[in-house]
Amino acid sequence: MNSLIIIGCGWLGSQVAADFIEKKYRVFGTTTTKNKLPELQARGVIPILMKIHQGKELSLPDTEAVLIALPPGRGRKRGEYPAKIKALANGLKSKSSQIIMCSSTSVYKGMHGCVEESDAESNINNENVILAAEGELLTQVEDAVILRLGGLIGKERHPFKYLIGRKSIKNGDAPVNLVYGEDVSAAVEILVNNNIRKQVYNLVSTDHPSRKNYYTRVAEQKELDAPEFETGGSKCKLVTSAKFIDHFGHEFKNL
């Protein structure tokens, strides 16, 4: 039976797990919370209680693929993210498994216009903690795959909830860079099925409406107070998934 470990069974990890279980994969999933073990087991995931610390040996089963779906967190926890990925990489480097890491398009912060994978380099010394974390993984697992995800949307998850009724939001003309969790799961399946290694891919919908147009439309659909945006931001970054589409012909869901 084909097998996969998902490091971090949060919103995204749980969706990937469900999709792979449906395709008859043996799926292991890690959590740091003991109370979540029965929940994972009920979903068909083989649960593993695991906390990642530098110097602590990781005990993980051998599987064909490993998906790292750990969110970087906020505040001080965000600053600890590269060290956590370094400790995890140290435990994975001896495995022959395909390693895939879910990263973020926030690596392109401050850039303008159309941006692609080569516009941001993974580097352990980078001030951007996401790029530093990517660098920590690639330093020890050279053939890992990095997936830079746009803002995640899907069932029970949408950034609109943070904008309901807000006013004077800057950069209303900036393009949105979002991706459905379903597309991320489909991309992981493509990569696992083809045993793809040593690549960096952006995963973002090919739809890039302005923030104002998109969130106004979402507000109308949900019958909620629309946020009010200021003009500007039309030259803000637009993240392209052209590389992934060119390699695999995947069609992303429209927003």
Give the pLDDT of residue 55.
57
Neighbours of 70 (CB within 10 A): 21
Domain ranges of the chain: 3-153+179-205
Question: Measuring CA to CA, how many Å separate 224 from each of 71, 171, 254?
Answer: 29, 21, 22
Phi-psi region of 182 (alpha: psi -120 to 50; beta: other; left: phi over 0): alpha
Taking the C-alpha atoms of residue 3 and residue 20, their distance in angstroms, rounded to an integer, is 9
Q: The pTM is what?
A: 0.95
Give the pLDDT of residue 229.
93
Residue 23 amino acid letter: K
Residue 253 amino acid letter: K
Cα angle value 178/187/160 (rounded, 5°): 20
Give the pLDDT of residue 52.
84
DSSP three-state, residue 243? helix
* Residue segments in the chain with a per-residue pLDDT below the cut of 70: 1, 54-57
H helix runs in the chain, sequence order: 11-22, 37-42, 75-79, 81-92, 129-140, 181-193, 211-222, 242-248
CATH superfamily of 3-153+179-205: NAD(P)-binding Rossmann-like Domain (3.40.50.720)
- Quick: pLDDT tens for 179-189: 999 999 999 99
Give the pLDDT of residue 56.
63
